[in-house]
Amino acid sequence: MEFTKMHGLGNDFLVFYREQELPQNVSDLAIKWCNRYFGVGADGLVFILPSDQADFKMRIINSDGTEAEQCGNAIRCVSKYVYEAGHTEKLRMTFETLGAGVQEVLLKVVDGDVKNVRVDMGEPILEGTKIPTTLEGETVMGQPIESNGQWFNFTAVSMGNPHCVIYVDDAPHFELETWGPQLETHPYFPRKTNVEFATVTSPERIEMRVWERGAGPTLACGSGACATLVSSVLNGYTQRKAWVGLKGGDLYIEWNPSDNHVYMTGPAEIVYQGEIE
């Protein structure tokens, strides 16, 4: 199978184009190929498949073999791939996703090179049971949560996949690998959750680190950046447009009041191409 190794701000994937459907043993393949010591190494596999609803369909398999509903960094990668590989000439195209419906992207191209991708990430889901959490209410904000004797307060947001946003004093140096896996599997989250630890440094900037459901600590999370911006607006910490600083770089996030959609803009890069059995 031919693959292209790509990353969005360090959140890396093996991208496959020629398949018509997911391989039957795709979970086992993801665990094997994503291993950074005995495989190629990646946060997940991304398959670009035919779609009868959009220009392309995107399916994402995490490094632990589970499937993700969507991924903001992955959609920027596949957008760059299909354009630069000549599979489309469109600068505006659509992708069918498992959990976020059909998403539209807009490419900024300079001399044939996709410099950045603006993604319509859709409307955030805020109702507790729809995120899903086990908590009732139109929003889940400032909700106490306990893990191993430590208490936090979180805001829950879904961008087609669940997120738990927690504000801390120093996100870049927070003990991510201590608390991330414990909160990911907390009983409040029946389908587990992505966990974002955020520090608001100004009304236009947030520093964030992420523990991704099914992948662990990653250098960036596009849907997590969107969820963090939505949470920060709801809590009165930021404006509706802000930069989110991740370990791998910055994403520009907008929560548009006119259509209630969240828009994410950022880069994607091709690392190399190869073949794997």
Q: Which residues are catalytic?
A: 71, 221
Structure-derived torsion over alpha carbons of residues 201, 207, 211, 216, reported in degrees to the nearest 10: -160
Q: Is 205 labeled as ligand-binding?
A: no
The whole-angstrom separation of Cα 35 and Cα 169 is 33
Q: Is 153 labeled as ligand-binding?
A: no
Which residues sit opposite 4 in a β-bridge?
Answer: 15, 273
Collapsing DSSP to helix, strand or coil, 178 comes out as helix
Q: Is 73 labeled as ligand-binding?
A: yes
Specify the pairing of strand 262-266 against strand 113-120. antiparallel
Q: Is 212 labeled as ligand-binding?
A: yes
Residue 72: HSE in the Cβ half-sphere, 13 Å Cα cutoff: 31
Q: Is 25 labeled as ligand-binding?
A: no
Q: Is 35 labeled as ligand-binding?
A: no
SS3 letters across 84-137:
HCCCCCCCEEEEECCCCCEEEEEEEEECCEEEEEEEECCCCECCHHHCCCCCCC
Sign of CA dihedral 236, 167, 149, 194: positive
Q: Is 161 labeled as ligand-binding?
A: yes
Specify the pairing of strand 216-218 against strand 194-202. unpaired
Q: Is 277 labeled as ligand-binding?
A: no
Q: Is 260 labeled as ligand-binding?
A: no
Collapsing DSSP to helix, strand or coil, 26 comes out as helix
**Residue 213 DSSP one-character state:** T
- Mention every residue, 6+ apart, whose C-beta is less than 8 A from residue 31: 63, 64, 65
Q: Is 223 labeled as ligand-binding?
A: yes
Q: Residue ranges for the binding site for substrate?
A: 11, 62, 72-73, 161, 194, 212-213, 222-223
Q: Residue ranges for the binding site?
A: 11, 62, 72-73, 161, 194, 212-213, 222-223
